Amino acid sequence: MNKRNDTWRQRLSWLGLALGLTALAGCSSSSDSRYDLKDDVAPSAPISVDHIEGAVPKYEPYSLGGNKSYRLRGKSYTVIKDPTGFTERGEASWYGKKFHGHLTSNGEVYDMYSMSAAHKTLPLPSYVKVKNLDNGKETIVRVNDRGPFHDGRIIDLSYAAANKLDVIKTGTANVEIEVIIVEKPSSQHELSKHPEYTIQVVASPHKDRIDNLSKQLSEKLSVDTFLTPVNKNYRLMLVPFKDYKQTQDVLEQVQKIGYPSAFVKKL
């Protein structure tokens, strides 16, 4: 990464924390006219999200930003301190291209191809199982943003999550959400273990094409690659990384060279 990118990343990190602390980032900003579902749109050239799996729950300490109770549009919201056993029914909506690349309430960058969501009062981040009561489909999302602030709506799904639940066509859906609690590791030994991450670039039934792409990426990115057969598809994976920041740096390179739906998986 060059010096310009490092500077940009530092500024983004600072800005994310500042916005998150006031709970005004992402879709929760009262001064940001982008937040209006009727004006939001799916990607102009949608990328298949069939290969993207639900978020994998893991223990994460709550974010420094976005977890204070706040007031918005004349209404007060109290962030839940202990979401154990939390369930809720109501309408789900989704947000996509209009917010893609903007900051979420906890200072992360919103990626419409990630399995994420926004909720008004759950602590950030939280893992939530979402069931579409209209068709029975369900998936798991990671809540890292605030919203939706429309009456009756309880959760805003990313484009990828909404696609999984068939909410894109209808715009909204009746859902039930349930918080998934992952307990903090009980020992210092467990806390010190380094998790491994891998990057899934693409999935395809054409093994010869995947093989060629695998070699090209290995040379271009100076990383090892491997294929994982799943059903009739082959998943192109980049070798496990122990450092999460390094994983994100490589993911950014992969997305810039033409694979924006690539994503990180924890092993």
pLDDT band at 195 (very low <50, low <70, confident <90, very high): low
* Domain pair 3-180 / 194-266, same fold: no
Question: Rounded to an integer, what distance in angstroms lies between the CA atom of residue 23 and that of residue 48?
Answer: 32
Q: What phi, psi does 200 have (nearest 5°)?
A: -95, 120
How would CATH label the architecture of 3-180? Beta Barrel (2.40)
For the chain, what is the mean pLDDT? 81
Asked whether 158 and 92 are in contact (CB, 8 A), the reply is no
Model confidence pTM above 0.85: no
Q: Which two tokens stand for residue 145?
A: 């943003």
In this predicted model, what pLDDT tens digit does every residue of 144-181 receive, in sequence order? 999 999 889 999 999 999 999 999 989 999 999 999 99
Write the CA distances from 93 to 60, 162, 175, 201, integer angstroms: 26, 8, 10, 28
Domain ranges across the chain: 3-180, 194-266
pLDDT exceeds 50 at position 3 = no
pLDDT band at 247 (very low <50, low <70, confident <90, very high): confident
The CATH class, in words, for 194-266 is alpha beta
3-state secondary structure of 9: helix
